Amino acid sequence: MTEVIMPRVTSPAAYSAEIQRRVLRDISLSDEAHAKEGDTFCLITQRWWQTWSAFVNQDLPISTNNGPSSEHQGSSVSNTLQRPPSIDNSDLICRSASENSPEFEIYDTLVEGTDYILVSEKMWNQFYEWYGGGPALARKVITRGSSETELTVEVYPLRLQLHLMTRDEQYAIRLSRKETLGQLHMMACEVFDLNSDQVRIWDYYGRRKHALLTEMDKTLDDVNIQMDQDILVEVIDQSGSNTTAVQVNGDSENHPLAFARPSRTNQSNARGSSANNGISRSSHPGLSQFQNLSFAKDKGSTSVGVSTRGSCVGLIGLLNFGNTCFMNSAIQCLVHTPEFASFFIGDFHKEINWQNPLGMEGELAMAFGELLRRLWAPGRSAFAPRAFKTKLARFAPQFGGQNQHDSQELLAFLLDGLHEDLNRVKQKPYVNTRDVDGRPDEQVADECWANHISRNDSIIVDVCQGQYKSTLVCPVCDKISVTFDPFMYLSLPLQSATPRTMTVTVFCCDGSVTPVTCTVTVPKLGRCRDLIQALSNACSLKQNEQILLAEIQDHMIHRFLDDPLMSLSSIKHDERLSAYKIPLLMRNSMYLQFVHRREDVETSTWKLYGTPLVYPVSRDATITRGDIQLIAHTILSPMLKADNSDANTSSVASNPLSTNNDSEPYSPFKQNDYSLIKFPLKLVDGNNNPIDISAEEEKTIKLSSSSMLVLLYIDWSPELVKIYEMHYLEYLPEVSKSRHGKKKARVEPVSLYSCIEAFLREEPLVPEDMWFCPQCEERRQASKKLDLWRLPTVLVIHLKRFSYSKTVKTKLERFVNFPLGDFDLTKYVANKQDLHPQVYELYAVANHYGNMGSGHYTAHVKVCLLLSWSSLFYEFYLLLFSENKWYNFDDNHVSPIGEDDVKSNAAYVLFYRRMKTDDVSLSSGAQSSAD
């Protein structure tokens, strides 16, 4: 890499701690004043550096809570620590130098301030003169940043794999990202001993020719060459044609050998994480490794010589290399979670559970930690997270390939996978769940949480997991079951703001009014109860009446829509509905369904037509054939033509619905009037045989005790049709007939609070997920009510924008007005003994633009700067502070945005962080703008 001329080693005994501090101070000040591109820096193991720092600082005054100690007190402990041994950098090296590779290879996962520190070449020479040891690990200073004015140390030069296909040879090289393509070309020729005039080099990622590298004056950085990238060395003959068997698309035509991608040294090991994108962390004034020395009193002049003033960490984009925007968006949100950043920057490998059978052998955590560290390195050079994508596809093949995927599904997998890889519980104990047995909710909830933590304990649980209360009620026996379950994120329903108009014909069973067709407006994704309420208002429903809603198919009732929580999205636009006004509290009832038929002259057969009519009766009632005749006249009486209205006066006067005395069996009529026109009625028995009931009016009809519907045919003769206004029965409109040219309804925003309330609203279980009631000992479609009980530090909220049905997949574009700060969930927490305010602040948003087929993901992130600093006693910490600036991460493009740009109808996953109590008390307490 870079050769360092070693000075002569002298005994450090001749130099006291005070002299060593002064010498290093002078060198540091000189380096700060003359730092430039091309300077050499060397790595020193953090372990040795801490030993030396303790030695030279032991005679300094020590401050206490009672004030600074005297100089005499400080010197009283002088020379209690021994001088450091010779420098030993072996714990940084993963591969020693050899004849083929004279360079020392260091671990890919070293972190400045944790594993090593950087010193200038002059400092290294001075240390070597005093202590000896080594080896010297020299690195060059390069310029970075958009203006190319920021100086930083290139700790990890690019490692490239050269492929010479004609000889079936491969060779790994190290090259600075500031070297030119011309220098890469020249090195390739030297490595394979080729004539430079006959060599071309290609970007050969994925064994495909992506680009011919011809602009020799451009740097590797300029053409976006990344770490561990493949370079194809192509030999051309004198005629200009290539002699490589590889075609332009990268597929071999003549070469039978399939080359495996070369193994990469220590890409995943137990030491830690990333190569930091190959760049050293900032040596910002006041934050250098020499801040703990006595000469570091003047803040602002303590740099070791390389400064990245103005450089902002955490602003590195990710390249899109084949529909990976879904992954890039999720990663940016996770790595900018402060708790995760501080954890993975630290020594996280100690918490990896390598033996967890539910985990990914620690490899997912290692890969994520490496990726996070690279994204928190200084500079703005985007890179492609290919190694992470490969590891992800290994454990989750559904995210492999080049297809687009759901960012929220990836987030769910990552959080769960990282939890298992970092689970501190090595042997999960058996947990015996106790019944509630009337115990207080607080006691049961704490017990369930303790049981959960005994088996699941990780940084993911600490930060992201909460607990909710789930209440199930059996619809038959009213059995109540209460459980307390953990959650990682909340998936909130998102109703469409576009209203839906639905047309339904309402029939009155008591014969008081003619049928009326009502067109009502309901929420597009509303419930059946919304439609019933709208119809009740439209037809002026009385207090003692209710609406019975039915779906009509082939002129018969296909089903009753009697579940008030049924989604209206299950009703298609071309379906036909009818509604029937019936008594409100009619017990043990069943329904007579009058289905209309008329004769087909050509075939002399009776065919169904029109809309069926419904009349409720009690199962306990004694009904005669004459009663059925009078019921038919009653429900059809409003449709009599004017000149025939007198024929039905008596039936209208004796309203059968008015008789419903619970003290005696229900009978629709106390007296019969057989002077009316007789309808040709046929009763369909259990064997589907029609029985004529037009004669023998006094004969009792035996109704089925198991069926809800009793089927009756009314056969309409031409003469009978002339007496009635048949258009009321013949035409039943579609539910939602398309109206071309109609102005699109205005889409209103929805508050995030209303989404929370919809999530917590009582809902019936879907038929596929029915609950086994222990009291009934049968599966029941119980109602389920969720309550928030324990909220996590970081609350991840998924807005359910994607709607799936058997035939249609749609995306809901509704704008959700979510608060950026002061998101107060205190009143939604069911645990009233928790008196702490539950107020959150937004720090990241994963966005989805476009439709189901061609969407694109981005992320809005409120970036915090992640810096390292040292105390007076050589201890290293992580410091997080908010810059209060939002940025848009659109793959490799990172740009600042205003707070007004954070909210959009593309918001898909929201990341909230609980505010500290002091921050909450300082807020105005006003309700968020999201209300």
Give the catalytic positions in this structure: 325, 856
Decide: 827 and 835 in contact? Cβ < 8 Å: no
SS3 of 75-142: HCCCCCCCCCCCEECHHHEEECCCCCCCCCEECCCCCECCCEEEEEHHHHHHHHHHHCEECCCEEEEE
78-to-66, 81, 554 alpha-carbon distances in Å: 22, 8, 101
Q: Helices marked H in 362-485 — which ranges?
A: 363-375, 386-395, 407-421, 441-455, 459-464
DSSP helix/strand/coil, 542: coil
What is the separation of C-alpha 472 from the centre of its chain, rounded to a whole number of angstroms? 27
Using DSSP, how many helices (H) and how many strands (E) does the chain show? Answer: 19, 45
Question: How far is Cα 261 from Cα 160, in angstroms, rounded to an integer?
Answer: 12
The DSSP symbol for 658 reads G
Residue 735's contacts (CB-CB under 8 Å, 6 or more residues apart) are 502, 503, 504, 571, 572, 573, 574, 575, 576, 577
Question: How far is Cα 756 from Cα 786, in angstroms, rounded to an integer?
Answer: 11
Phi first, then psi: what are they for 614, rounded to 5°? -125, 140
DSSP helix/strand/coil, 58: coil
Q: Given the DSSP bridges, would you call strands 229-235 and 199-203 parallel, antiparallel or unpaired?
A: antiparallel
Nearest CA among 923, 809, 859 for reference residue 317: 859
Amino acid (1-letter code) at residue 231 = I
DSSP class per residue in 225-275: --TTEEEEEEEB-TTS-B--SB-TTS-BSS--PPPPPPP-TTSS-TT----
Question: How far is Cα 185 from Cα 197, in angstroms, rounded to an integer?
Answer: 10
Decide: 134 and 89 in contact? Cβ < 8 Å: yes
Radius of gyration over alpha carbons of the chain, in Å? 40
